């Protein structure tokens, strides 16, 4: 398991996680894909319970990160709300409608990626216990 204390990991990664956690996301997972692809360093995968919620989560992430001076290189799928991809270069955030996430199974596709635990993610898990 990779931790954000890894010196080679972006120290601002927790900003992305906090933004994704801001709108009642479901099952947020952070994967270290640096050893597996040159597309990105990190995938953040989360879900919403409806198309509308997926679009709202994506909008919230964009606005929250924009306040931090972080803007995406590209955003795809926000209007439809089935699978929104927010590409920040080294971090790619996937926001899925739950059934679509199950169908595409990115966690299964990237099974060799190490999970990452950030401070915000650890705090969220503790709150649910």
Q: How far apart are CA 27 and CA 94, in angstroms?
A: 12
Q: How confident is the model at residue 27 (pLDDT cuts 50, 70, 90)?
A: very high
Question: Packing angle between helix 119-128 and helix 13-21, nearest 10 degrees?
Answer: 40
Buried b (16+ CB within 10 A) or exposed e, 67-86: eeebebeebebbeebbbbbb
Domains of the chain, CATH where assigned: 9-118 (3.30.460.10)
Q: How confident is the model at residue 125 (pLDDT cuts 50, 70, 90)?
A: low
Residue 14 has pLDDT above 70, yes or no: yes
Average pLDDT, the chain: 89
Rounded average pLDDT over 100-106: 96
Rounded average pLDDT over 34-59: 95
Q: How confident is the model at residue 105 (pLDDT cuts 50, 70, 90)?
A: very high
* Contact by Cβ (8 Å): 75, 58: yes
Q: How confident is the model at residue 10 (pLDDT cuts 50, 70, 90)?
A: confident
Residue 7 has pLDDT above 60, yes or no: no
Rounded average pLDDT over 58-76: 96
Give every CB contact of residue 113 below 8 A, 6+ residues apart in sequence.
Answer: 31, 32, 33, 36, 43
């Amino acid at each position: 398991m990779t931790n954000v204390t890894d010196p080679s990991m972006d120290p601002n990664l927790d900003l992305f996680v906090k933004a994704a956690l801001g709108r009642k996301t479901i099952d947020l997972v952070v994967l270290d894909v640096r050893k597996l692809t040159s597309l990105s360093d990190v995938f953040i995968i989360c879900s919403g319970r409806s198309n509308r919620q997926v679009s709202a989560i994506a909008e919230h992430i964009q606005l929250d990160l924009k306040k931090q001076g972080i803007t995406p290189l590209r955003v795809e799928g926000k209007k439809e709300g089935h699978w929104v991809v927010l590409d920040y270069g080294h971090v790619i955030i996937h926001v899925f409608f739950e059934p679509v996430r199950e169908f595409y199974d990115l966690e299964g596709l990237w099974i060799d990626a190490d999970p990452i635990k950030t401070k915000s993610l650890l705090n969220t898990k503790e709150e649910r216990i």
